[in-house]
Amino acid sequence: MERKQVKVGLHKGAGLPPGYKWSVYFLTVAESEAKAICGEGAGYSHLVDHVKALASETDPARPQTVDVEKLEDVFELKVKGGPLGKKSVRVFYGIEPERIILIVGCKKKDKEGPLSPGVKKLMAIRRRKYRGGDYGKA
Residue-wise pLDDT tens digits, 50-62: 999 999 999 999 9
Residue pLDDT, tens place only, 19-32: 999 999 999 999 99
Residue pLDDT, tens place only, 45-88: 999 999 999 999 999 999 999 999 999 889 999 998 889 888 89
pLDDT of residue 2: 53
Domain boundaries along the sequence of the chain: 6-131
| DSSP SS3 for 126 | helix
pLDDT of residue 3: 64
pLDDT at 4 over 80: no
pTM metric for this prediction = 0.93
Give the relative orientation of helices 28-38 and 42-55 as an angle to the nearest 10 degrees.
Answer: 130
- Contact between 39 and 46 (Cβ < 8 Å): no
What is the average pLDDT value for the chain, to the nearest integer?
Answer: 92
Greater model confidence, 92 or 113: 92
pLDDT at 1 over 60: no
Counts of helices then strands in the chain (DSSP H, E): 3, 6
Question: 3 burial class (0-12, 13-18, 19+ CB within 10 angstroms)?
Answer: exposed
